[in-house]
Amino acid sequence: MSDNDEVELDLTAVVPLDGEVPDFAAMNEWQREHWAEGDRWRLRTLRDWEDSQTGLRVVRTERYSVQADDGGPPVCTEVSDRSHDPRQCLGCSRRTAWVADQVRLESQAAGLELANAAFKSGREVFETPPFNPLWGTEDELLSSVGQGLMIAGRDGTGKTSFGQEYAKRRAGLSGWGPVMWDLPVAVLPRGERVLYFAMDRPQQAREAFVRSLSPDQGDEVNERFVFHESPPVLDLSGARGQEWLLESVARFEAGMVVFDSRKDLGDTMDTKRLSGIARMTQMLSGLNVEVVFLHHPVKEYRRGTPALEQVYGHREVFSGLGSVLFIEGDPGARDVRIHQVKPLRKPVTPFQVTLDHATGTSTRASRVAEAQARQLAEQAARYADAQRLDRLRQALGKHADAEGWAPSGAVAKELGVERMSGSEYEDLVATSARGRYAKVRLLP
Taking all residues of the chain, what is their mean pLDDT, rounded to a whole number?
A: 79
Whether the predicted pLDDT of 343 surpasses 90: yes
239-252 helix and 271-286 helix, angle to the nearest 10 degrees: 30
Residue 102 pLDDT: 66
Q: pLDDT tens digits for 126-154?
A: 777 767 899 999 899 999 998 999 999 99
Q: Band of the pLDDT at 76, cuts 50, 70, 90?
A: low
Residue 385 pLDDT: 80
Residue 295 pLDDT: 95
β-partners of residue 318 are: none
Return the sign of the alpha-carbon dihedral for residues 222, 225, 227, 233: positive
Class of domain 372-442: mainly alpha
Whether the predicted pLDDT of 11 surpasses 50: no
- Show the beta-strand stretches assigned E in 106-237: 133-136, 141-144, 149-152, 179-180, 183-184, 193-198, 225-228
Is-contact 404 440, C-beta < 8 A? no
Q: In angstroms, what CA-CA distances link 433 with 158, 333, 389, 437, 444? A: 48, 46, 22, 7, 18
* Positions of CATH 3.40.50.300 in the chain: 133-365
- Which stretch, 121-125, 300-304, 341-345, has highest mean pLDDT? 341-345
Is-contact 336 363, C-beta < 8 A? no
Which of 74-78, 267-271, 283-287, 375-379 comes out lowest in average pLDDT?
Answer: 74-78
The Cα–Cα gap between 257 and 386 comes to 50
- Show the beta-strand stretches assigned E in 237-313: 254-260, 290-295
Q: H-helix or E-strand containing 13?
A: strand 12-16
Is-contact 351 151, C-beta < 8 A? no
Which of 51-65, 145-159, 168-182 comes out lowest in average pLDDT?
Answer: 51-65
Residue 78 pLDDT: 58
Residue 40 pLDDT: 36
Is-contact 133 179, C-beta < 8 A? no
Residue 157 pLDDT: 92
The Cα–Cα gap between 145 and 281 comes to 13
- Which stretch, 22-31, 99-108, 333-342, has highest mean pLDDT? 333-342
Q: Which CATH superfamily is domain 133-365 in?
A: P-loop containing nucleotide triphosphate hydrolases (3.40.50.300)
End-to-end CA distance of the chain: 116
Count CB atoms within 10 A of the CB of residue 336.
20
- pTM, to two decimals: 0.61
Is-contact 167 292, C-beta < 8 A? yes
Which of 77-86, 165-174, 357-366 comes out lowest in average pLDDT?
Answer: 77-86
β-partners of residue 336 are: 353
Residue 54 pLDDT: 56
Nearest CA to 356 among 69, 152, 162, 135? 162
* Positions of CATH 1.10.10 in the chain: 372-442
Nearest CA to 440 among 416, 414, 412? 412
The Cα–Cα gap between 184 and 166 comes to 11
Strands 254-260 and 193-198, bridge-based pairing:
parallel
Whether the predicted pLDDT of 316 surpasses 70: yes
pLDDT above 90: percentage of residues in the chain = 36
**Ramachandran bin of 407, using left for φ above 0, alpha for ψ from -120 to 50, beta for the remaining angles:** beta
Q: pLDDT tens digits for 163-177?
A: 999 999 999 999 999
Whether the predicted pLDDT of 67 surpasses 50: no
Provide the residue type at 244 as one letter. Answer: W
Strands 56-65 and 141-144, bridge-based pairing:
unpaired
Per DSSP, 350 falls in state P
The Cα–Cα gap between 283 and 292 comes to 14
The Cα–Cα gap between 59 and 16 comes to 10
Residue 74 pLDDT: 67
Q: pLDDT tens digits for 289-305?
A: 999 999 999 988 877 88
DSSP 3-state assignment of 441?
strand
